[in-house]
Structure 1
Amino acid sequence: MKHPTFEDIKNARETLRDISIQNWYQDDLFTWEWWLLLGAAVIPWLIWMKYHDKKRTFEIMCYGLIWAMLASITDVIGADMILWGYPDKLLPTVPPLFPADATVIPVSFMFIYQYSKTFKTFLLLSLILSAIFAYIIEFLFIKMGMFVLHKWTHTYSFIGFFILSLVVYTLIKKLAPKG
């Protein structure tokens, strides 16, 4: 077998891009799943804007943006490695589960961060939310045909959510100004 070149990879990516866009136009755009993803991309931020602690906006927003960045990177790697997949997308050319990675997950953890007065409370609430995302939300998305596990489990997701929450918490606490 011939050693693949960068040009071969580029051609394969162009083919994948073209069929992904075609699939999105034919199967995703304006379906109920698409509207659900659109709502998931917008509504949590509207709720956050109304109920977040205005005195801590910058700190909480930094927490959420780091969460969103790490979730997106993790999601792209996992989807590219075919550990899981998303049959439906909000947009054809962005990471598959952008509404969850940039909205639902970080905003949910932002509220936990905001309302946890102690690290122990944060740990407990992060465990609970990680379990809800891994064992309930993922399960529902599988039942709706919007999420597929290939070489992954809900328990791996649970561990991932929880570890990411701790990593981001630790980063923010180390970076936040003292006093």
Structure 2
Amino acid sequence: MEKEKVKDLIDENNYQVERLLDQKVQIWSEYVVFSGIWWFGVALSTLPWVLWFVLRNRQSSDRIQYAGFMSSIVSLTLDVLGDQYGLWHYRFNVIPLIPTYFPWDVTLMPVGIMFLLQFKPTGSPFLKAILFAFLTSYVAEPIFHWIGIYEPLKWRYTYSFPIQMGIYLLAHYFSRRKNFQELT
């Protein structure tokens, strides 16, 4: 296929996506923003961070926040992939152009992980990973599905369990890194 034809196909696809995003923002601005479920999402986006800043262990907060940030990046990436491949989708987004549920990936996942990392820091990371995976996969996901925010299409809660364990264990690994060079 010639280069110009490919460019035209890509451009047309982008225009279609832009039109759908415009429609999504229109629906969001008319029906979602300032609704009760939107305010619920705003609260889920902010209150856990307030709790973290009040209850965190200040001696290790930088290290733990580093691990939380890394878990947020992994969570966002996997969530975008799952949404784009049609495994699930979200409704009632706090921010309409982000395809994932912002409170989940940027607040609930990392803050939950950070609290677990801080609690009994010498405890078994595998037991904590199992607890985290159980709570996120079999408690939180069904609640978000029941509320109507999360719609698993080609996904089962059980599929999330090993992924959530892996995200926690990765965060645990990052929280234990010490090889940072002094800035000069």
TM-score past 0.5 threshold? yes
1:14 pairs, out of 13, 18, 24, with 18
1:39-73 CA-partner distances (Å, limit 9, x unpaired): 00000000000011101121011011001111111
CA distance in 1, matches of 2:159, 2:31: 29
Q: CA deviation at 1:83?
A: 0.5
1:72·1:95 contact (CA, 8 Å) conserved in 2? no
Structure 2 residue runs of 5 or longer lacking an equivalent are: none
Aligned-pair RMSD on alpha carbons? 1.8
User: Taking structure 2 as the reference length, what is the TM-score of the superposition?
Assistant: 0.89
Residue 176 of structure 1 aligns with which residue? 178
1:84·1:150 contact (CA, 8 Å) conserved in 2? yes
CA distance in 2, matches of 1:123, 1:163: 10
1:21·1:93 contact (CA, 8 Å) conserved in 2? yes
Aligned AA (2:96): P
Aligned AA (1:96): T
Alignment of 1:5-154 (within 5 A): 5-118=9-122, 120=124, 122-154=125-157
1:19-41 CA-partner distances (Å, limit 9, x unpaired): 11011112211111101100000
Q: Which is greater in Rg?
A: 2
Q: CA deviation at 1:169?
A: 1.7
Q: CA deviation at 1:119?
A: 5.0
CA distance in 2, matches of 1:176, 1:77: 31
Matched-pair identity in %? 25
User: Taking structure 1 as the reference length, what is the TM-score of the superposition?
Assistant: 0.91
2:76·2:100 contact (CA, 8 Å) conserved in 1? no
How many residues align structurally? 175
1:59-104 CA-partner distances (Å, limit 9, x unpaired): 0110110011111111111111110110110011224211110001
